[in-house]
Amino acid sequence: MPLKVAIVGSGPSGFYTVAALLKSGADCQIDVIERLPTPFGLIRGGVAPDHQKTKNVWRAYEKSALNEAVRYYGNVEVGRDIAIDELQDIYDAVVLAVGSPLDRKLGIPGEDKEGVIGSASFVGWYNGHPDFRGLNPDLNISAAVVVGNGNVAIDCARVLAKTPEEMTATDLTDYAAAAIHASPLTDIYMCGRRGPVQAKFTNVELREMGQLTDCHPVVDPAQLPDSVPEGLEDRERRLCERNLETLRGFTTLSAEGKPKRLYFSFFANPVEILGGDRVEGVKLEHTAVENGRAVGTGNFFEVSCGLVIPAIGYYGEPFPGVPFDERGGIVVHNDGLVQGNVYAVGWIKRGPTGVIGTNKHDGDHAAARILDEQSNDDKSGRLSLETLLGERGVRWVTYPDWKKIDESEIANASPGAPRRKYSEIKEMLAVLD
Ligand code: NAP
C-alpha cells in the first residue's frame, strides 16, 4: 500500500516536493491539488512574460506530473471544494505549497485610493491570472510610481517600459499589451526606502534597464557611494559591486531618442498617497541609512503620478483551521511541520524570498520528514478525493486536460509569441468541452 500524499498547490515548491518523494524511491501515491485549471503557480502567473527562459523549468515539473504515481487535480480549491481536515483524514500527509498570493500593505494614508495596485495584483493582471482579469488599471497616465527595490519592482517597471516590439516574443496577455502600449506613460519612478547598496534587485535584472529601446534609466550620481561599504558578506559584496557599477554606467548613457524615463529614486520612503478618490501623487520622505535601517530626515517631496504599484513583498493567505502568523504572513510551523500530518513548503512556510530553485531545499526537506514521520495508515487517498469532488459537482482538470489547454494556447499564439494565454477559467474549461 503506497503512502498517500496530497500536495496543495502546483508551483515550484509543490512540484519540488513531488520530485523529492519520487526520487526517494518510496512507494507513494501523490495527488497535486491546484485551485486554477493551469499548473505551475508563479512560473505561469508570476515570472515576467519577457523572461521565457526562466519559465522553462516547467519541463522538470512536467516530468513529475507524468509519473504514474502522480495525479493532477486542477480547478479544485481547498477550503471551497474540500476542507483541509478532510484531506488530513483521507491522506497520510498533506503539504501546503500555496505560496504568498496577497500583497503586503504599505500601511500609509491614502493606500486605498483607486490607482494604487499592489504588485501581486498588477503582475497577476498582466500575466493572465484569472483572479486579476477584471483589474483594468487606468493607464491613461503620464507617470507611475513603483515602490520597492526588488526584482518584482523591476519586473513591473520593465513591463510598463518596453515597446510592443520588445514584447513580441512574450506571453504578455492581449488585454494588458493593449492597455500598456496605448498608455501615454513617460515617467516611471522606482522608489527605494534605502540606498543602492541595500537594493534587492539582482544584477541581470538591473542591467536590462539600461538596454531598453524606449526607456532611459535616470540615476542621480550623488546617491551612489564611491565604494562598497565594509562589513558585507562576500556574496552581498559582489552583488553590490556589480549593481553600483551598473548604476554608474547608467549615468553615462544618452537619453537621446528615448521618450520614456525610469528614475531610480533611492533614500525615498513613501509616507502618504495623495489625491481624492483617485491617486494623484505620492508624498515621500528623504531617508538616511543608519545601521542598515532607513531613517527619516524630515525632508519631504512629492511626485505626481496616476498609478502607484507597491512592490514591497507578498503575503500569505490564511487557511481556516491552520494556525497563521499574521506578522510574517506565513503558516505557523515547526521546521515545516504545521500540525498533525500537515506540512508546509515554499513561501507559505518561509515567506516570499529567494529564487525558484530555493524551493528545492524545502521540497527535499518536507519529503524527508514525511517519509520519516508518517506511516501508511491505509488511507483512501485519491479514491475518496474523487468521490467527494464528484458528490460536490466539482469539475476537476487532469494533467492531460491541462495539456489540451496548453496546446490550444500555443496554437493561438501570435507570430513570434510562445502562446496566447487564457485568463478566464471558463475559457480554459471551454477548451475541454
Ligand atoms: P524583495 O526582494 O523582498 O523586495 C522588496 C522591496 O520592497 C525591498 O526593496 C524593500 O525594501 C521594499 N519594502 C518593503 N517594505 C517596504 C515598505 N513598507 N515601504 C517601502 N519599501 C518597502 O521582494 P520582491 O521584489 O517582491 O521579490 C520576492 C522574491 O522573488 C525575491 O526573492 C526576488 O528576488 C524573487 N524574484 C526574482 C525574480 C528574478 O529572478 N528575475 C523576479 C521576481 C521576483 P527594504 O530592503 O528596505 O526592506
**Cβ neighbour number for residue 108 with a 10 Å cutoff:** 16
For residues 236 and 39, the model is more confident at 39
Ligand 1 contacts CB of residue 354 (under 6 A):
yes
DSSP state of 78: B
- CA dist 380 and 377 (Å) reads 9
For ligand 1, atom 2: residue with the closest CA: 150
For ligand 1, atom 7: residue with the closest CA: 312
- CA dist 320 and 322 (Å) reads 6
Distance 269 CA to ligand 1 centre (A): 14
Q: Is the pLDDT of residue 358 over 90?
A: yes
pLDDT, mean over the chain:
97
Q: Is the pLDDT of residue 319 over 90?
A: no
pLDDT band at residue 232 using 50, 70 and 90 as cut-offs: confident
- Which three cell numbers mark 39? 499548473
Tell me the mean pLDDT in the region 341-348. 98
Radius of gyration of the CA atoms of the chain, in A = 23
Give buried/exposed letters for 202-220 (b at 16+ CB in 10 A, else e): eeebbebbbebeebbbbbe
Q: Is the pLDDT of residue 231 over 90?
A: no
- With the most atoms of ligand 1 within 8 angstroms of its CB, the residue from 312, 314, 330, 355 to mutate is 312
Ligand 1 contacts CB of residue 149 (under 6 A):
yes
Q: Is the pLDDT of residue 369 over 90?
A: yes
Ligand 1 contacts CB of residue 312 (under 6 A):
yes
DSSP state of 99: -
pLDDT over 90 percentage in the chain:
96
Q: Is the pLDDT of residue 218 over 90?
A: yes
- Which three cell numbers mark 332? 505557523
Distance 148 CA to ligand 1 centre (A): 6
Distance 266 CA to ligand 1 centre (A): 14
Please choose, from the candidates 212, 203, 281, the residue with its C-alpha nearest in 3D space to the C-alpha of residue 247: 203
Torsion of CA 24, 346, 56, 4, to 10 degrees: 40
Q: Is the pLDDT of residue 166 over 90?
A: yes
Ligand 1 contacts CB of residue 148 (under 6 A):
yes
- CA dist 85 and 69 (Å) reads 23
Tell me the mean pLDDT in the region 40-54. 98
Q: Residue 391: CB partners within 8 Å, gap ≥ 6?
A: none
Tell me the mean pLDDT in the region 398-423. 98
Which pLDDT tens digit goes with each residue over 107-129?
A: 999 999 999 999 999 999 999 99
Atom of ligand 1 nearest to the CA of 312: 7
Cα first-last separation, the chain: 35
Distance 155 CA to ligand 1 centre (A): 11
Atom of ligand 1 nearest to the CA of 354: 32
Q: Helix H segments across 251-357?
A: 347-350
Q: Which amino acid is at 417?
A: A
pTM for the structure as a whole: 0.97
Ligand 1 contacts CB of residue 155 (under 6 A):
yes
Q: Which amino acid is at 398?
A: T
Angle between helices 12-23 and 58-65 (to 10 degrees): 50
What pLDDT score does 79 carry? Answer: 94
Ligand 1 contacts CB of residue 198 (under 6 A):
yes
Give buried/exposed letters for 308-336 (b at 16+ CB in 10 A, else e): bbbbbbbbbebbeebebeeeebbbebeeb
Distance 152 CA to ligand 1 centre (A): 6
pLDDT band at residue 399 using 50, 70 and 90 as cut-offs: very high
Contact between 184 and 144 (Cβ < 8 Å) = no
Distance 416 CA to ligand 1 centre (A): 31
- CA dist 330 and 79 (Å) reads 17
Atom of ligand 1 nearest to the CA of 107: 18
Tell me the mean pLDDT in the region 369-374. 96
Q: Is the pLDDT of residue 377 over 90?
A: no
Give buried/exposed letters for 261-286 (b at 16+ CB in 10 A, else e): bbbbbbbbbbebbbbeeebbbbbbbb
What pLDDT score does 376 carry? Answer: 86
E strand map for 234-267: 260-265
Phi first, then psi, for residue 107 (nearest 5°) are 75, 35
- CA dist 424 and 134 (Å) reads 10
Ligand 1 contacts CB of residue 333 (under 6 A):
no
Q: Is the pLDDT of residue 106 over 90?
A: yes
